[in-house]
Amino acid sequence: MTRLLLLCLAFSTFAFAGAREEAELERYVTDIATLSERQAWDGVERNYEKIMELPGVEIPREVHMNAALAARSTGNMKAVVDRLERAQKVEGEDETAAWLNEINENFGRVTLIVPKGVVLVPEVMPFAPDQRLQVEAAGKALIDEGTFDGMLPVGKYTLGGVGFEVVAGISAKVELSGRDLRKL
């Protein structure tokens, strides 16, 4: 009898935890919708991170789409792609596929590793806001941390005097040491 009581208690605890998480999800989804309408992308980002920590919940497609918009506003194209791919897994839409195709045609994946403070210079600064933001975010990461692993708009760049090209659909890695840079 005691085992049966413990089993029932354990089951009700798990059922309650699922209901609690679903209620939290609903609250976050509502907040994200409201924040997205106001284009308060920092708030969308915070709520999305909280949703991603909820175990066992099914996140609606629209949440991933709004989170992709939030990531785009900061110039984090790698996060945009990850979120669009999650949205597409929930429900494949032409809009999502078109956005992914546009990114894949205009950006390339890069890993850049340099001494802190090395400046990234595009041959031509992109006009499109999301592309410009991505170049600026990569440049800031390189100056502050010396590394950037993400996406850059297709084009030619100089990194510490060394030229490289970003090509759509091709991953590139540029790694420069202080010694490499002194040789220039």
Contact 153, 107 (CB under 8 A): yes
Strands (E), the chain: 107-113, 120-122, 147-153, 155-159, 162-166, 172-175
Please say if the pLDDT value at position 164 is more than 50. yes
Please say if the pLDDT value at position 56 is more than 90. no
When computed from its CA atoms, the radius of gyration of the chain, rounded to whole angstroms, is: 21
The amino acid occupying position 140 is K
pTM (2 d.p.)? 0.79
Please say if the pLDDT value at position 21 is more than 90. no
Q: Which residues contact 92 (CB under 8 A, 6 or more apart)?
A: none
Q: Which residues contact 156 (CB under 8 A, 6 or more apart)?
A: 122, 123, 124, 163, 164, 165, 166
Biggest alpha carbon–alpha carbon distance for the chain: 80
The second-level CATH assignment, the architecture, of 2-92 is Alpha Horseshoe (1.25)
Cite the residue boundaries of each domain of the chain with CATH code 1.25.40: 2-92
At 161 the pLDDT is: 85
At 181 the pLDDT is: 62
The amino acid occupying position 16 is F
Q: Rounded mean pLDDT of 28-57?
A: 94
Contact 97, 89 (CB under 8 A): no
Please say if the pLDDT value at position 60 is more than 70. yes
